[in-house]
Amino acid sequence: MNTMNRLAATVALAFAAAHAPAAMAAPVKNVVLVHGFFADGSGWQGVADILTRDGYNVSVVQQPETSLADDVKATTQAIGVMDGKTILVGHSYGGMVITQAGNDPKVAGLVYVAAFQPDAGESLLTLAKKMPPASDGVKAADGQLYFDHALFHADFAADLPAKQAAFMARSQVLPAVGAASAPVTDAAWKTKPSWAIISSADRTINPDLERYMAKRANSKVTEINGSHATFIVHPAEVAKVIEQAAAASGRD
């Protein structure tokens, strides 16, 4: 091969490398999991174990639920610790948090698990009023929300053993009322790809509301016949969607 031919080949290889198809990009390997009201990060253990086994770097946020701003801050701090692009996953109220925190440039995609998926200007309360849930288990006292213990098993975690649901009711995190009434200011799903898992037997969030929000956001939808506690009861199915999001976001 003469000098000109070698030079042409070198230029061609450099051009090909610089313009390699997006499909050749590595999948996203970081996942941040955000829990919702009346639960804590331990509910993600089954999902986190599967993701870790499959080679993902997983962080579980234990946000304070003192305000939406505080919870977004805790989540962005978790994102900041990750080395590289990250998939952000939220359950229930955690969907409010990831919608705002997902604007972080390190976030490559969003996964909503039986979650609120707000537009800018919407709060959890405004969305819940749009299509009320079957349950009236959420109560307020002294500036905090709580889920009625007597209704917790039937309306939050019907597909969990009664003993486990009873412990969750006793150990539930009590969010500030203000966290539910605070609106999101910038919806990340408008600029980031999103996936939504709909719990078709959900009594805490109206499944039709979940479907409406997912359709509006043009999310890729998976339906699971489960309660609001789908993230605990169906870890394999939830992890599968997260891994699909990670693979697809790595090609973007």
Percent of the chain with pLDDT over 70: 89
- CA–chain centroid gap for 199, Å, is 14
Of residues 151, 156, 165, the one with CA closest to residue 227: 156
Write down the pLDDT at residue 102.
98
CA dihedral (88, 230, 66, 210) positive or negative: positive
Alpha carbons 209 and 92: distance in angstroms, whole number = 12
Of residues 67, 42, 87, the one with CA closest to residue 250: 87
Class of domain 25-249: alpha beta
Write down the pLDDT at residue 210.
98
Q: Is the pTM here over 0.95, yes or no?
A: no
Would you give per-residue pLDDT tens digits along the chain (252 residues)?
Answer: 454 445 444 334 444 444 444 444 678 999 999 999 999 999 999 999 999 999 999 999 999 999 999 999 999 999 999 999 999 999 999 999 999 999 999 999 999 999 999 999 999 999 999 999 999 999 999 999 999 999 999 999 999 999 999 999 999 999 999 999 999 999 999 999 999 999 999 999 999 999 999 999 999 999 999 999 999 999 999 999 999 999 999 765
Write down the pLDDT at residue 26.
75
Write down the pLDDT at residue 62.
97
